[in-house]
Chain A
Amino acid sequence: MNVLLSIAFDALAYGMVLFIICIGLSVMMGLMRVINLAHGAFAMIGGYIASYVAGPMGWGYVPALVCGVIGAALIALPLERLLYRRVYGASDPLVQVLMTIGLTFCIIGATNFLFGSAMRAIPLPALISGPVDLGVRTVPAHRLFVIACGVVIASGLWYLIERTSFGIRLRATVDNTGMAGALGVRTDWIYTATFALAVGLAAFGGAVGAEIMPLDPYYALRYMVTFLVVVSVGGAGSIGGALVAALLLGFVDTTGRYLAPNYGEFFFYLAVIAIVFVFPHGLLRRGA
């Protein structure tokens, strides 16, 4: 019983980190129709900036998260203008795949040049570094914090997309870019804003999830496939789909590692194949 609870809790925390990072990628892929394998690299940039601000600069945890988000978005925006814009909606997905793999390689190389190849930690504040007693059992407070972040982001995004005028314009642009443009929506601005939002969320996820997904230069490559898989399983562009997929795959992966550690990610990918076979367009695909 205790083991089960602890697995469930870890799985939930891991799934939430996956969700926070992947939701940006999902929105981006739904809107710009770009398969962005460099998304993990942006999460890594956010994590590294946060670790630098909270560590050597000593500004504290919350400013570190804020700096990580803003810094990653600032680094990513010129890349969107210079590189991504040329491959939006490319008919051959391999063009996007290869360009973003190339970008990932460059970011890994640069990160190693700036920070070295050793693993980086983000020092946690006392409030979330200890254990918390939930009555049934004690759990690390950080895990609770991550889960809370995931819930807040899911509901915040839902509100942003379903209830605000930005959300209306975003959805219109997703459904029909040409028509939205004709109606006066500045679609290139929507693209830029969405890209910044997606990168910001990735950076946030990379920073808060650093305890669960450790930061080193190969982070971008190690989780590249995982993020892509979550988005694909959930269905690009769907918040609900990404949430369900992240939690489900997080659960499968964590359980698999606990119960059959020798099998590595075997069950994770078995689940992926099964889901893609049954739901080729994603678990909850928007409007389909």
Chain B
Amino acid sequence: MAPIPGRPAASPRPGCRSRGVPGRELVAPTVVAILGALAYLAFPDDLAFFTRIIVAALFVMSLDLVVGYCGVATLGHAVLYGAGAYAAGILCVDGLTDPLLLIAAGSVAGVVAGLVTALVILRAHGLPQLVLSIAVVQLAYEAANKARDITGGSDGLSGISPGPVFGLFEFDLWGRTAYVLALVLLIATLVVLRRVVRSPFGLLCRGIKQDPDRIRAIGGTIYGNLVKMYALSGAVAGLAGGLTAVTTGVVGLDSVSFEWSAEALVMLVLGGAGTLYGALVGAVVFTGFEHYVAAVDPYHWLFVVGALLIGVVLALPAGLGSLAAWLRRLLPQGAP
């Protein structure tokens, strides 16, 4: 503690350094929009693949809200995603064809699934919490499998053919409409979530993650706020699920599987938990790798992901998203 005689003459201007730079909130969404547009122009044949990446990114961001910002240990997040996917898919098969309404319905279903999941898994901490989350996703999987009449069971739910967006833009064979819709939803979600994580509520959640008992000592409650974050996370995961149902036209059992939950967690940790753009990086890197390596041999793919995971966890705990900062530190200080 540096000895400072008396009081400092004047406090520095509030809002210095990182705080309150106007317009800073819009940097990341703008970057995503530009990259998304470039991808659209440069790779018009891969739009379905890019749409898949965007869905994964939305799902991983949703996971980040509870894992990265609240410190909840979950390997069952696919329940929220699957609820959205099945809700949108089933409603569409039953005759509701407006894609935006379907996605909104998916989002609502995600909220409900989030609340139910939160009710079960937030009762425990650490390992029991992890196990409860696994149990919840396995139950949901078996339930979806058993309810074959509604969900199509292991054959998957097909026959989802939504109408045009705003009654104008048909879903085309090249996936252009789907891609643009997904990109717009991603950017909108990013804007909203960046707001949330920088809100008083976001600050409180970071506090809950770092030391829940200390939050109680300043008069904050834990359970209710975590449930609230879970509901929000469910809205985003359900949106991702609804989006996948609408853009691909099928919903499979894997959308409520332990594997999909674990993959999302892997993507999150690869990219860096606790930063929304880390979730984006993780989804892009993982899905991209998967696309190219798994096409050669799925086992090679597993080996590569495994090695990458071990490396990131041990050497780069803040994820690949922090790679730039890490490289900068490696450079000698004051180098020209």
Q: Identify the A interface with B (CB < 8 A).
A: 29, 35, 83, 86-87, 92-95, 97-99, 101-110, 112-113, 117, 217, 225, 228-229, 232-233, 236, 262-266, 268-270, 272-273, 276-277, 280-281
A99-B314 CB under 8 A given contacts A94-B265, A109-B302, A225-B134? yes
A263-B314 CB under 8 A given contacts A97-B130, A117-B299? no
A99-B309 CB under 8 A given contacts A232-B128, A272-B131? yes
Say yes or no for B305: interface residue by CB 8 A criterion: yes
Q: Which of B67, B128, B143, B301 contacts A94 (CB 8 A)?
A: B67
Of the listed stretches B5-13, B118-126, B182-190, name the one at the interface; the rest are far from the partner chain: B118-126
Say yes or no for B132: interface residue by CB 8 A criterion: yes
A273-B139 CB under 8 A given contacts A99-B309, A102-B313, A109-B303? yes
Known pairs A113-B303, A265-B138; list 13 more (Cβ under 8 Å).
Answer: A86-B314, A92-B71, A93-B130, A102-B305, A106-B303, A108-B303, A225-B134, A232-B130, A263-B146, A269-B135, A269-B136, A280-B123, A280-B128
With a cutoff of 8 Å between Cβ atoms, the chain A residues found around residue B31 in the complex are none
Say yes or no for B330: interface residue by CB 8 A criterion: no
Whether the pair A229, B131 counts as a contact (CB closer than 8 A) is yes
Whether the pair B307, A102 counts as a contact (CB closer than 8 A) is yes
With a cutoff of 8 Å between Cβ atoms, the chain A residues found around residue B317 in the complex are 95
Q: Identify the B interface with A (CB < 8 A).
A: 67, 71, 73, 75, 120, 123-124, 126-128, 130-132, 134-136, 138-139, 142-143, 145-146, 258, 262, 265-266, 269, 273, 299-310, 312-314, 317
With a cutoff of 8 Å between Cβ atoms, the chain B residues found around residue A217 in the complex are 299
Q: Which residue of A lies closest to B315 (CB)?
A: A86
Whether the pair A98, B309 counts as a contact (CB closer than 8 A) is yes
Whether the pair A263, B309 counts as a contact (CB closer than 8 A) is no
Q: Could you tell me the distance between the alpha carbons of A106 and B304 in the complex, rounded to whole angstroms? A: 7
Q: Could you tell me the distance between the alpha carbons of A280 and B273 in the complex, rounded to whole angstroms? A: 27
Q: Which of A94, A105, A117, A228 contacts B134 (CB 8 A)?
A: A228
Q: Which of B132, B145, B302 contacts A276 (CB 8 A)?
A: B132
21 contacts between A and B (CB under 8 A): A95-B313, A99-B313, A101-B309, A102-B305, A102-B306, A102-B313, A103-B306, A105-B302, A109-B304, A109-B306, A228-B131, A264-B145, A266-B142, A268-B138, A269-B139, A272-B132, A272-B135, A273-B120, A276-B128, A276-B135, A280-B124
A104-B75 CB under 8 A given contacts A98-B313, A262-B146, A269-B139? no
Q: Could you tell me the distance between the alpha carbons of A82 and B209 in the complex, rounded to whole angstroms? A: 29
Q: Which of B75, B145, B300, B310 contacts A102 (CB 8 A)?
A: B310
Q: Could you tell me the distance between the alpha carbons of A35 and B314 in the complex, rounded to whole angstroms? A: 15
With a cutoff of 8 Å between Cβ atoms, the chain B residues found around residue A29 in the complex are 127
- What's the dominant secondary structure at chain A's contact region? helix
With a cutoff of 8 Å between Cβ atoms, the chain A residues found around residue B305 in the complex are 102, 105
With a cutoff of 8 Å between Cβ atoms, the chain B residues found around residue A101 in the complex are 262, 266, 306, 309
Whether the pair B73, A97 counts as a contact (CB closer than 8 A) is yes
Q: Could you tell me the distance between the alpha carbons of A113 and B142 in the complex, rounded to whole angstroms? A: 32
With a cutoff of 8 Å between Cβ atoms, the chain A residues found around residue B265 in the complex are 94, 97-98
Whether the pair A266, B309 counts as a contact (CB closer than 8 A) is no
Whether the pair B303, A105 counts as a contact (CB closer than 8 A) is yes
Q: Could you tell me the distance between the alpha carbons of A117 and B145 in the complex, rounded to whole angstroms? A: 26
Q: Could you tell me the distance between the alpha carbons of A276 and B143 in the complex, rounded to whole angstroms? A: 20
With a cutoff of 8 Å between Cβ atoms, the chain A residues found around residue B308 in the complex are 102
Q: Could you tell me the distance between the alpha carbons of A62 and B218 in the complex, rounded to whole angstroms? A: 63
Which of A83, A93, A102, A280 counts the most chain B CB atoms within 10 A? A102
Whether the pair B73, A83 counts as a contact (CB closer than 8 A) is no
With a cutoff of 8 Å between Cβ atoms, the chain A residues found around residue B127 in the complex are 29, 35, 93, 228, 232, 236
Whether the pair A276, B131 counts as a contact (CB closer than 8 A) is yes
Q: Which residue of B lies closest to A228 (CB)?
A: B131
Q: Which of A106, A107, A225, A266 contacts B139 (CB 8 A)?
A: A266
With a cutoff of 8 Å between Cβ atoms, the chain A residues found around residue B145 in the complex are 264
Whether the pair B307, A106 counts as a contact (CB closer than 8 A) is yes
A277-B299 CB under 8 A given contacts A232-B131, A263-B142? no
With a cutoff of 8 Å between Cβ atoms, the chain B residues found around residue A97 in the complex are 73, 75, 130, 265
Q: Which of A35, A117, A264, A273 contacts B135 (CB 8 A)?
A: A273
Minimum CB–CB distance from A238 to chain B (whole Å) comes to 13
Q: Which of A103, A229, A277 contacts B310 (CB 8 A)?
A: A103
Minimum CB–CB distance from A71 to chain B (whole Å) comes to 20
Q: Could you tell me the distance between the alpha carbons of A107 and B258 in the complex, rounded to whole angstroms? A: 19
Q: Which residue of B lies closest to A102 (CB)?
A: B309
With a cutoff of 8 Å between Cβ atoms, the chain A residues found around residue B312 in the complex are 98
Whether the pair A105, B306 counts as a contact (CB closer than 8 A) is yes
With a cutoff of 8 Å between Cβ atoms, the chain A residues found around residue B269 in the complex are 94, 98
Which of A109, A263, A264 counts the most chain B CB atoms within 10 A? A109
Q: Which of B67, B132, B299 contacts A113 (CB 8 A)?
A: B299
Whether the pair A35, B130 counts as a contact (CB closer than 8 A) is yes
Minimum CB–CB distance from A240 to chain B (whole Å) comes to 18
